[in-house]
Amino acid sequence: MAANTTTSSTAPTPPIPVNLSLFTLVEAALIIFGMLVLGRIVRKLIIRKSKETSMTWIINEDTAEIVFRMFVLGGIIWALYLLGIMSYEIGPTTIGNIAFAMGFFYFSYLIAKKSKDYMIMSSGKKAKPEVIVKAKIFYYVFITIAFFMALSFAGVSTELSALLAAAGITGIILGFSAQTVVSNFVSGVFMYFDKPLLIGDQVKIGELEGVVEDIRILSTRIRAWDGTLIRIPNEKLFNSNIVNFMRYPVRRVDVDVNIAYAADAERAVEIIKRVLDEIPLVLVEPEPLVYVDRLDDSSVVVAIRAWAPSEKWFDVRMRIIHDVKKALDEAGIEIPFPQRVNWFANELRVRIEEPQEEEKEEEQA
């Protein structure tokens, strides 16, 4: 009677072609040790060279550290290849291909990050927003290219088309759910080319006023005059009317002064002109203007149009108001209050009632 035998439908996993002989282990250890020593020597040479060259943007301590890590990681991968571990297959690829792809992407990330930081730092202590945006765009593009190259090195290029198709479908789904984020990003890129404002500018956006603190990919941060932080999405900012008070080096100060109808307007204009001549921050060119602008209900309006440096505009305006008021008071020129004169079509008649007898007795008592 034949015995029932069961066969497994699962194919046996191929063994790992590991070579663990004593000689091979010693050789792998020597490779790691040698690459470690060689990496340290190269790192010291790069650091020493960075103190003697002007090309510190590429030859510096950060570069030396990255090169040292590359030597160490390369030695480890070499030793694992020697031991046969890297030849173990995982699907369509091997452990060695995956390890190389991961190492490639890791060092690409370090290079991209250091390059971005250098681009920002090399522009000065106060980096311009266009430099920051350019550095970030370079960083993300570099990382994206490195990611797809790493997938190719990992040996999954045949599955790459299917992955891209799945990523495209996922991107469409995420696009509908995160269209605000995408629109903010696109608006941030457009603002980079348009350059309507810079960090440190005094701006007015709709009803909001303040100083630009930071310009990012998705939003812009403004410090209001009362010290509060305002975050404005770039999409809303791009579609708003932006008033930049610091775009040009000079800015006009507009002040209107009301004087009484009985006052001498020409004398008031001369007094105001002398006051402007005594304020050092009022520019001579363009020449300040002082003239009678209009006749209001209860006063004559004298317009003052003076130019000042944009960063000193507020100080100049306060100085003009203070000094003009003081000079007009000393000259006896009245700055009137609003007045109203009422005219009646018919003559008003006033009736005076005599007090009654009881009230007279009480007053006499």
Q: How far is CA 146 from CA 68, 151, 187, 259, 334, in A?
A: 20, 9, 26, 73, 76
Q: What is the pLDDT of residue 9?
A: 43
Separation of CA 181 from chain center = 16
Residue showing tokens 């000193």? 312
pLDDT of 36 higher than 50: yes
Half-sphere exposure at residue 129, Cβ-oriented, CA atoms within 13 angstroms = 24
pLDDT of 2 higher than 50: no
Residue whose C-alpha is closest to residue 190's, from 234, 250, 147: 234
The one-letter code for the residue type at 155 is G
pLDDT of 330 higher than 80: yes
Angle at 234 between CA 228 and CA 238, to 5 degrees: 110
Q: What is the pLDDT of residue 276?
A: 93
The pair of three-digit structure tokens given for residue 147, joined into one six-digit string: 């990611």
Class of domain 250-330: alpha beta
pLDDT of 208 higher than 90: no
pLDDT per residue as tens digits for the range 275-291:
999 999 999 888 999 99
Q: What is the pLDDT of residue 81?
A: 75
pLDDT per residue as tens digits for the range 339-348:
676 777 777 6
Domain ranges (residues) in the chain: 22-172, 184-244, 250-330
Q: What is the pLDDT of residue 236?
A: 83
Q: CA torsion angle for 358, 360, 363, 365 (degrees, to 10)?
A: -70
Of the candidate CATH numbers 3.40.50.920, 2.30.30.60, 3.20.20.210, 3.30.360.10, the domain formed by 184-244 belongs to 2.30.30.60
Pairing of strands 202-205, 242-244: antiparallel
Q: What is the pLDDT of residue 116?
A: 80
The one-letter code for the residue type at 250 is V
* Highest mean pLDDT pick, 105-114, 142-151, 161-170, 257-266: 257-266
Separation of CA 327 from chain center = 45
pLDDT per residue as tens digits for the range 184-194:
777 777 777 77
How many percent of the chain have pLDDT more than 70? 76
CA distance linking residue 205 with residue 170, whole number of Å: 36
| Average pLDDT over every residue of 33-41 | 86
pLDDT per residue as tens digits for the range 287-314:
999 999 999 888 899 999 999 998 899 9
